[in-house]
Amino acid sequence: KDLINNKVRIDGRDSKTIRPIESEVNLLPNTHGSSLFTRGETQVIVVATLGGASDEQIVDSIEKKTKKESFTLQYSFPKYSVGEIGPMKAPGRREIGHGKLAWRAMQSVLPKKEDFPYSIRVTSEVTESNGSSSMATVCGASLALMDAGVPIKSPVAGIAMGLIKENSEHIILSDILGDEDHLGDMDFKVTGTEVGITALQMDIKTDGIDIELMQSSLEQAKEGRLHILHEMNKTISERKDVVNKNAPAIKILTINKDKIRDIIGPGGKIIKDICEKTSSKIDISDDVTVNVIGINSDSLEKAIEMINNIVGEAEINKIYDGTIVKIMESGAFVNFFGTQDGFLHISEISTKRIENIKDALDMGQKIKVKYIGNDNRGKAKLSIKQINDDAENKKNDEIENINIKPEIININQDVSENDSIEKVQTKSPTSKRWNQPQNKLQNKPSSASADVTEEQKNQPVTKEVKHFN
């Protein structure tokens, strides 16, 4: 009753004031995303972890079949957060309920699986509590996800509203303390973005509340929620451009179902080999999509390259690096495209005749081969000879391009009587291109040169020049 009359709360605040807020991201540098959110005497540390499809949570249900959740949120409320001691036990009913509320608050702003193929786990540990640690978890989860690079649609904040009711009088409280929750008549939790509500939860100790009181509570909660979002935006207002460097790199591939067995191999031999060589993980779902997860981008690209070499098709007339895996009298089998082998006939090794193939090739030898097509049984045919032919043709083309006949010949060069003479048409000395002195044979001054008319100057002049064979 004193609170209703004086409008002053236990800690000196009025009914609408929010406790001081501090926040920080990247608190734990080796995690994928982390945050520290403090509001008054309530504080949480939140960690976001990204994984692949195999890291999704398996959920058993009585009504439905087993399903997987790509987003999980774990809320932990250790006894030390309220100054108590005791053994660490499995989560209780309260912790599970608070975690599910925070999960619902964040679920609606998460990206679709097609746009962001990661599984997401958020862990919140309450380090200090004096009211509304679940709403602090929502704020901390929003900050940690943005720090991890998860493209959430908008930041989310939460606030706990209280109610003190005395007969016909009442007062609505924003951001309640633990004592106000214990002694008050309502604990109304509201979470949402700047444009709407994402989750609600109400605990009341009275017989009920009317629509007018509900509306007033929501309007006051919106004011408090926008204030909290404003304070959070000072730390981080949108997700980072890329996922954290510590997070795995993931790509989803759609593979022809007939090729899936080629990726797996006998007894899983091939898929295990890819995972070991590239430090990656490969998950194949029932809808024939393949999730490739690498510890970094380099690991991911190597794994994808190995998969493409298995399921891809070699290009005709393209040169590949190959390894000789079997030698026969008529030729050799060469592994040249992932797990695909081709046959290199003895006649396709060299332009020269080869009597014994073992004189030209060795087992395990690394060679370059050209894929020239398939035989009538669908087996790949390879050639070394055609690579050399292509190189020789290219070399000849380059030589022909160098041997270009000269268009302009230095006419200052002496011309002897024994030289072969050819008459060619050249430009008039009055042309802009004619800047060279005349041939020595015509350097002698002519008495009639002064009488040359303009019309004669513009006529083509016949010159005698050397002919180069």
pLDDT tens per residue across span 379-413: 889 999 888 776 666 655 555 555 544 443 343 44
pLDDT of 400: 55
Q: Using one digit for the tens of pLDDT, what is the confidence trace for 302-352?
A: 999 888 888 877 888 899 899 999 999 899 999 888 777 899 999 999 888
CA-to-CA dists, residue 359 to 6, 322, 349, 370, angstroms: 105, 18, 11, 21
For residue 391, the model assigns a pLDDT of 64
Mean pLDDT of all residues in the chain?
Answer: 83
Write down the pTM of the prediction: 0.69
- Encode pLDDT of 65-90 as tens digits: 788 899 999 999 999 999 999 888 88
pLDDT tens digit string along 211-250?
Answer: 999 999 999 999 999 999 999 999 999 988 888 888 898 9
Written as six digits, the tokens of 43 are 């504080």
Are 3 and 177 in contact, with CB atoms under 8 Å apart?
no
Neighbours of 134 (CB within 10 A): 27
Report d(CA 57, CA 417) in Å as an integer. Answer: 99
pLDDT score recorded for residue 159: 96
Q: Of 208, 166, 159, which is closest to residue 184 (Cα–Cα)?
A: 166
CA distances from 420 to 185, 403, 427, 468 (A): 120, 21, 21, 9
Confidence of residue 2 (pLDDT cuts 50, 70, 90): confident
